[in-house]
């Protein structure tokens, strides 16, 4: 038999595309039997994103692995969308005929189709072609549990979540405050809410769900999913926790300027502030951060981005003269560095001088932090980050809580940031516990992906399942 192929269907966002591709490559490396990868590439909706995807694919094609990329025909993106989750979900749905044609035209047997979770509508294509369909979830098991529970919550809670009394019951998690629900479900009239509920319902139809987490990182949430407690009345889902899936680019020949600056700092003395590829602040918030950092007395490395240009989505490089209080850079020059453009977060977190991380709480960033044993202060901005922030503090114990005013565009007062940074970097019991737990999780993350570890074993089980499910789909 020809080598079976595993078809990956990612979306274009860096945190989604790179995570699914890295998972696929690990699957090939861990599989006892020969498998190949076929990646179906949707055209990104902007030229900048399309260029980023193309550059990433060029790097992968040069890697020598058995990975083939098929570029799907472009679709006309919707123009009447309200939110980004709706936009991505609708584009994925519009690709159904192209995905079907691409899979039908493959010569090798198809072992299975692994869909980014925004592509759950494409499970219909898998069913039509009689090939196994899997959902790949780039975030954590806590969020999977929430989304699986959401269709039932929709029936149980007739009002907006923020109007309900008491906490939200999500099996596997501590009681979830209504203020911590993901941004896409804060408004039930918004199409984003409808799509999240739809995806939660469709997940239960997948042959299995693959999650970028480790069994030891989220045992309660994973057990609740596998036991069927999140999907009462529906069959329990098979779950493969295969993380942490983190891509480590080779170190540059010349260390980055931020890394060189860290070389001059004491071990675990610097708090890093970095907010992902989409995180930015207006000047009023930047000045609050500056005041809080200055009053904290701690060393800091602050990656500061400004608001997007009109009509654009990506943050701009910060104009420090306009965004920071007068004299701040001069007063803090001996213990702080403000970096106004992109910075190599993974390299920075790996540095011994970094002792804490104020983060937007995206799951990829959190995994990088835990991989290096760095405790966090979550400052959620969008997507599922408010739920993540709650999980990091209440379920995982790896973070110090900070008050974020969600009604004021996630505003944080200077005094609150000062308090959280002091706590994180050595001020009290909450910080001590978070540092200890983060240090434990460093060992957990690394052991999970080593031979004999839980994620290594999950990948082997998944590869065996895929190999057994291989079917010829040509001419169906």
Is the Cβ–Cβ distance between 145 and 387 less than 8 Å? no
- CA 82 – CA 94 distance, rounded (Å): 17
Q: Report the run of H or E that residue 291 belongs to, with start and end.
A: helix 283-296
360 is known as an active-site residue: no
Query: What does residue 250 show for φ and ψ, rounded to 5 degrees?
Result: -60, 145
Nearest residue to 277 via CA among 221, 329, 366, 343: 343
Q: How far apart are CA 472 and CA 476, in angstroms?
A: 9
CA dist 424 and 434 (Å) reads 8
Separation of alpha carbons 474 and 298, rounded Å: 62
Identify the active-site residue in 95, 98, 116, 199: 116
CB 367, CB 291: distance < 8 Å: no
> In sequence order, what DSSP letters do the residues of 409-462 get, joined into one string?
TSB--HHHHHHHHHIIIIISHHHHHHHHHHHHHHHHHHHHHSTTSHHHHHHHHH
Largest CA distance in the chain: 70
Backbone phi, psi, residue 188, to 5°:
-70, -15
- Enumerate helices (H) and strands (E) in the chain, giving the number of each: 18, 14
Q: What does the DSSP assignment read for 180-210?
A: GS-GGGS-TTSHHHHHHHHHHHHHTTSSEEE
Residue pointed to by tokens 């039930």: 188
Order the strands of the 5-9 sheet from edge to edge.
Answer: 67-71, 36-41, 5-9, 110-116, 133-137, 208-211, 239-241
In angstroms, the first-to-last Cα distance of the chain is 19
Given the DSSP bridges, would you call strands 316-317 and 305-306 parallel, antiparallel or unpaired? Answer: antiparallel
Question: Which of 16, 98, 360, 386 is an active site residue?
Answer: 16
116 is catalytic: yes
Instruction: Using the structure block, give the residue that is written with the tokens 């998690």.
Output: 173
Q: Residues with catalytic annotation?
A: 16, 116
């Amino acid at each position: 038999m020809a080598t079976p192929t595993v078809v990956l269907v990612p979306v274009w966002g860096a945190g989604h595309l790179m995570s699914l591709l890295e998972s696929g490559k690990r699957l090939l490396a861990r599989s006892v039997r020969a498998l190949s990868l076929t990646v179906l590439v949707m055209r990104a909706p902007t030229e900048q994103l399309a260029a980023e995807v193309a550059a990433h694919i060029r790097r992968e094609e040069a890697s020598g692995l058995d990975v083939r990329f098929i570029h799907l025909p472009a679709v006309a993106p919707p123009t009447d969308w309200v939110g980004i989750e709706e936009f991505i979900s609708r584009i994925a749905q519009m690709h159904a005929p192209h995905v079907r044609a691409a899979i039908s035209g493959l010569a090798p047997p198809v072992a299975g189709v692994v869909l980014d979770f925004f592509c759950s509508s494409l499970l219909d294509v898998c069913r039509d072609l009689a090939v196994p369909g899997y959902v790949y979830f780039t975030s954590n098991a806590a969020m999977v549990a929430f989304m699986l529970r959401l269709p039932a919550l929709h029936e149980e809670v007739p009002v907006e979540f923020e109007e309900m009394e008491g906490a939200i019951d999500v099996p596997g998690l501590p009681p979830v405050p209504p203020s911590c629900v993901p941004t896409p479900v804060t408004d039930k009239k918004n199409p984003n809410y409808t799509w999240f509920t739809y995806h939660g319902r469709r997940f239960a139809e997948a042959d299995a769900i693959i999650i970028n987490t480790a069994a030891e990182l989220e045992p309660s949430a994973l057990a609740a999913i596998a036991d069927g407690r999140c999907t009462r009345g529906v069959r329990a889902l098979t779950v493969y926790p295969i993380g942490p899936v983190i891509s480590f680019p080779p170190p540059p020949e010349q260390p980055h300027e931020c890394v060189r600056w860290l070389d001059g700092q004491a071990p675990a003395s610097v708090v890093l502030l970095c907010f992902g590829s989409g995180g930015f602040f207006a000047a009023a918030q930047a000045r609050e951060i500056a005041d809080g950092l200055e009053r904290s007395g701690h060393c800091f490395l602050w990656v500061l981005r400004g608001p997007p240009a009109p009509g654009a989505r990506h943050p701009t490089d910060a104009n420090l003269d306009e965004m920071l209080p007068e004299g701040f850079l001069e007063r803090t020059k001996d213990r702080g560095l403000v970096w106004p453009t992109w910075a190599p977060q993974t390299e920075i977190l790996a540095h011994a001088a970094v002792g804490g991380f104020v983060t937007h709480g995206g799951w990829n960033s959190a995994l990088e932090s835990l991989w290096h044993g760095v405790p966090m202060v979550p400052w959620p901005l969008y997507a599922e980050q408010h739920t993540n922030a709650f999980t990091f503090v209440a379920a995982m114990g790896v973070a110090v809580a900070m008050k974020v005013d969600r009604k004021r565009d996630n505003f944080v007062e200077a005094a609150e940031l000062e308090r959280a940074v002091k706590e994180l970097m050595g001020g009290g019991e909450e910080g001590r516990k978070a540092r200890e737990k983060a240090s434990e999780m460093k060992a957990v993350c690394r052991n999970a992906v080593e031979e004999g570890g839980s994620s290594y074993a999950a990948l082997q089980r998944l590869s065996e399942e895929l190999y057994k499910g291989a079917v010829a789909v040509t001419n169906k």
